[in-house]
């Protein structure tokens, strides 16, 4: 798969986040996933599974501790795609 640029991964991630964005807040790269989106820990893991399938990557749970914002998530996806 050709590597997608940061904006495209961001848009796809935002699309996947839509179902979890119950308060319909505007998503930016600085949006804090846990506190601003009020997503619980299980839902974040479910989102990771969606991203794994979208990009055909394995996204270990161990990386979760490094993820705070939507931008962090996008960077991790890009890194895992580039390592495929």
Tell me how many residues contact other proteins (CB under 8 A): 17
Integer Cα distance of 72 and 47 in angstroms: 14
Nearer to other proteins, 4 or 38 (CB): 38
Nearer to other proteins, 10 or 59 (CB): 59
Residue that has been written with the tokens 């964005």 in this structure: 21
Residue 48 touches other proteins, criterion: CB under 8 A = yes
Integer Cα distance of 20 and 3 in angstroms: 26
Residue 49 touches other proteins, criterion: CB under 8 A = yes
Integer Cα distance of 22 and 66 in angstroms: 24
Residue 73 touches other proteins, criterion: CB under 8 A = no
């Amino acid at each position: 798969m050709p590597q997608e640029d940061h904006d495209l991964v961001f848009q796809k991630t935002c699309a996947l986040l839509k179902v979890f964005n119950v308060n319909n807040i505007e998503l930016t790269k600085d949006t804090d996933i846990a506190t601003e989106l009020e997503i619980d820990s299980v839902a974040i893991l479910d989102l990771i599974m969606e991203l794994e399938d979208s990009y055909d990557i394995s996204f270990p749970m161990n990386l979760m501790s490094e993820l705070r914002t939507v931008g962090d998530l996008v960077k991790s996806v890009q890194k895992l795609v580039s390592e495929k």
